[in-house]
Chain A
Amino acid sequence: MNQQSITKPYEKAVVEVKNLSVFFNQNEAVKKVNLSIPINKVTAIIGPSGCGKSTLLRSINRMHDFEPIARLEGNIFLEGEDILLKSVDAVSLRRKIGMVFQKPNPFPKTIYENILWGPKINGFKINEDELVEQSLRQAAIWDEVKGRLFDSAISLSGGQQQRLCIARTIAMKPKVILMDEPCSALDPRSTGRIEDLILELKNEYTIVIVTHNMQQAARISDYTAFFYDGELIEYGNTSKIFTTPVLKQTEDYISGRFG
């Protein structure tokens, strides 16, 4: 890896990935990646399909625990604590690191219950109505659903469902929100709304977003990491990556010459 191509952000890092490799059986999907994710910023991870973006993202909240064939090497530090240690309870960890998935996946319950299920089951002491309103407002969906909080979440449109999923994640007050191509199943209008929302949210949360869409990365992120074939190729200020990338490979990808 070219040292020059990785500029460390000046801000304080919340998550620090050190020498992380992820194997599926013998296949190395993420190769010795080092990445530090700054607090209260949006970090975008871009790269062609199958380059290990999502795999990296899912390592951060230990979603790979459910796949017996996955094996992780290296460390990921959350505020200085290695979260890949066996002794770290993945369940408690995920309360601090929320995740929004590719396809909206609301629970088949009411909108109200969707927000409250996580905090309730984790025994948080909360004012229910207040938390629901606050989370929905933060996710910029309150005005659309305030009249029908007790309707099934399934009845919402795709874009609304995704914002509900974001609201559900916010309700847990996580430190970091991981987003795995959150707009890939949505139309451009809904995508625009979610992008605005992400820009709002970064005042309070640290966001890591995997995206296919380079314009999206350019629009919303502060830092961009470019992955190729499991390796982190270049990482730095978004404006720098998109205007004056250090490496030819990055430039080729960004200008659409491959991938």
Chain B
Amino acid sequence: MLRDITLGQYYNTSSPLHDMDPRTKILGVIFYMVVLFMASSVWEYALAALFTAFVIKLSRVPISFITRGLKPLVMIMGFTLALNLLMTSTGNELFHWWIFRVTDDGVALAVKMAVRLVLLVMGTSLLTLTTSPIALTGGIERLLSPLSRIGVPSHEIAMMMSIALRFIPTIMEETDKIIKAQTSRGADFESGNLIQRVKAMIPILVPLFAGAFRRADELAVAMECRCYNGGAGRTSLRELRFRRIDAMALIVGVVLLAAMIGLKILAAGGIA
């Protein structure tokens, strides 16, 4: 189950998308989301879907890997689908059952919402699939850095993200070990009512937090020993370089946005 969540995972390969500057990709995703939420007609959706397919192809991430990421979202999608299907009252009635009325408008809306969600998840997960965590944090830091003038701690945010990413596997391993150790002491995490189960978590949570604090403490000393002093005057081994491919990607993004607006104007003209 945990392994099905591809959101946030990095797929290591080389592709034009992998080579892009993380800043471009972050901006691209923001663009993409705007476009998706603007879409309303079938043609607009078709354009967005075509674009998504093109980018997936470009990323060289196997489609099966991306669709696997949709699995945990089936519940949410089913829910929105049902909601849209049953709660839309405009349009021609197709059939009704008990207090519910299903209309053609409702069906259209439900399908659109489902497509929008699928595209949204597939498109945004491409950001993390093609960008290593460290490049991602670097990109976020740079994008936020103009904001540090108005007091946003952009370096600290990026450093925190990077350390969190570094320690997630270590803490996961530790959690596994603590659970096993307490199981070996006869702890029972599976039976009893809700309160008993919450109480049963204490032997796991206390050592876990104590361990996290201990690690944080040691890490802080180790960082100080290596002359860490916040973001001021820092250089970086990683190079963020805005290249031709990034310029091209941004142009494509603008074109896509323009096309979307164009389609909207066309549709408006059609109605009038």
Q: Do A and B truly interact?
A: no
> Interface on B for A, CB 8 Å cutoff?
none
> Interface on A for B, CB 8 Å cutoff?
none
